Amino acid sequence: MNKKPNIILIFPDQHRGEILGCMGDPVVITPNLDKLASEGVLFTQCFTNSPLCIPARATLMTGKYVSEHGVINNNMEADSSSQSHVRNIRDAGYHTAVIGKTHLYQQNTGNNTSDKIDVIREWGFDDIHEITGPIASIGHDSPYTDYLKKKRLLEVHRKYLRDYFIEWRGGEAKPWKLQPSPLPTEDHLDSYTGQKAVDWINNYNNEKPFYLQICFPGPHDPFDSPQEYRDMYSPEKMPVGILEKPEEPYPGNIRFVLNWSGLDGMTKAQNQLMKTFYYGKITLIDEWIGKIMNTLEEKELLENTWIIYTSDHGEMLGDHMMSHKIVFYEGALRIPLIIRPPGGTNGWHCNGITDQIDIATSLIDVAEAKPLDGCEGRNLIPQILAGSDDQNAQKGREVVFSQVLRYTMVRNERYKLVVRSHNLNPVEFYDLTSDPNELVNKVKDPSLSHVRQNLIDNHLKMLLEPSRMKIPPL
């Protein structure tokens, strides 16, 4: 047995935080994730530090807030020469590996993931098997497109996605109309990722402890679940989303996502049907997590491996007539977090607020690696090991921050405030106790002006202090 424990970070793309059986979802089929939670700690209030892919992933890698690393959208590339929790873990004696979608840079048509292998290596990874998400795979090559080409499935895959993309660009794509993946289930992008992870674990024979990231491209849209996984769900039994549009006037990011989503007029039945497609992708990934866990058990690795399951951000799934992300509503903001210690424990729930910076800090602690400079993360490991009866079992952060484009959100147990990052002007404000569905924007409610000002003075001014902020100017 290794003196230091192995670490596995399972990191799907766009998994909405409450869609797990262990989180109380009434219909989702996630037996393997539920079992993982029953042997670990389920953090019920974990939030992304950015509701967008590259900014969120840059934060997890560096331990820096978006306003500190400056990557505010998906058209920017995270700086691989900056500090990296992966590099620090590697330097602490670990063999590091990544399988799946890293999305630390913009993936353009005509390129290959092999073009960026030196960049991913600079982040600290020894073994690299990088692929893209579904849409990028239309024109961006990777080991996955090579695999499909050998099986004579590449053009089938690309035609399906091109047809979807053309409709989407024309504003005609409706997620409830999307056909199932035309590929055999074993060749689906998420199945490919899961199988490569199983193979890597089976073939690992290095004496060093390992840190493996398994980055499933799903359940990110398009919701191209295979038909057999869609058939596991009855549309009429799916929970219905929050189908009220936001109150006007709304900030630019909400306006953008409303237009991007194209869900005007979506009915309850259409919302439920769309959800069966998304839930099907989650169940497919869950099955592969079961296979990964079985492989670890067969290799006698479960007794010496930390397993962390989380995501980069959530998915709106039709709430407020929006899909995707880039907004600060709970659907896009909340992410799953399950942490199973070596050998497992009697599962319990922590309801304290936490975020991705806390995850980065905790990974560093497990590996006994060099701390990330300036990282304000809260180490969750002592809390996990102390157990559910400890006086600090339900401890969490006072607030979490999330940032995208030029907007910054601060959230505590009751209130959520969104401001413009450069001038701290409030644009959204919700009382989550009286308005859990976030239907009433109280940004101009005079009776709550002191609450808004306290959040600005006690939290936002420090985060958005000009000398600390790297968000590009307007």
Cα–Cα distance for residue pair 459/398, rounded to 1 Å? 10
User: Is residue 342 one of the residues assigned to a domain?
Assistant: yes
CA–chain centroid gap for 153, Å, is 29
CB 193 within 8 A of CB 217: yes
Same domain for 311 and 458, yes or no, is no
Same domain for 327 and 454, yes or no, is no
pTM above 0.75, yes or no: yes
The three-state (H, E, C) secondary structure of 93-150, written as one string: CCEEEEEEECCCCCCCCCCEHHHHHHHHHHCCCCEEEEECCCCHHHCCECHHHHHHHH
Q: Along the chain (474 residues), what's the average pLDDT of each consecutive run of 10 residues?
A: 86 98 98 98 98 98 97 93 98 98 89 94 98 94 98 97 87 90 98 98 96 98 97 98 92 94 94 98 98 98 98 98 97 98 97 98 98 97 97 97 98 98 97 97 97 98 94 82
Same domain for 341 and 252, yes or no, is yes
User: Is residue 474 one of the residues assigned to a domain?
Assistant: no
Same domain for 332 and 463, yes or no, is no
417 lies in which domain range? 406-468
CB 46 within 8 A of CB 57: no
Same domain for 186 and 321, yes or no, is yes
CB 297 within 8 A of CB 261: no
Same domain for 353 and 271, yes or no, is yes
Specify burial of residue 242 (Cβ count, 10 A radius: 0-12, 13-18, 19+).
buried
Cα–Cα distance for residue pair 362/208, rounded to 1 Å? 20
The string of pLDDT tens digits covering residues 33-57 is 999 999 999 999 999 999 999 999 9
Q: How far is CA 385 from CA 215, 234, 346, 362, 403, in A?
A: 26, 40, 11, 12, 31
User: Is residue 310 one of the residues assigned to a domain?
Assistant: yes
Per-residue model confidence (pLDDT) at position 1 = 45
Same domain for 87 and 190, yes or no, is yes
CATH of the domain at 454: 3.30.1120.10
Same domain for 103 and 199, yes or no, is yes
- Output phi, psi for 472, to 5 deg: -60, 145
CB 417 within 8 A of CB 409: yes
Number of domains in the chain: 2
Same domain for 83 and 229, yes or no, is yes
Cα–Cα distance for residue pair 362/234, rounded to 1 Å? 39
How many other β-carbons are positioned within 10 Å of the β-carbon of residue 194? 25
User: Is residue 232 one of the residues assigned to a domain?
Assistant: yes
Per-residue model confidence (pLDDT) at position 205 = 94
Same domain for 285 and 412, yes or no, is no
CATH of the domain at 128: 3.40.720.10
User: Is residue 394 one of the residues assigned to a domain?
Assistant: no
User: Is residue 280 one of the residues assigned to a domain?
Assistant: yes
User: Is residue 368 one of the residues assigned to a domain?
Assistant: yes
Same domain for 191 and 315, yes or no, is yes
Per-residue model confidence (pLDDT) at position 107 = 83
User: Is residue 399 one of the residues assigned to a domain?
Assistant: no
Same domain for 313 and 447, yes or no, is no
Per-residue model confidence (pLDDT) at position 47 = 98
Per-residue model confidence (pLDDT) at position 101 = 97
Per-residue model confidence (pLDDT) at position 137 = 94
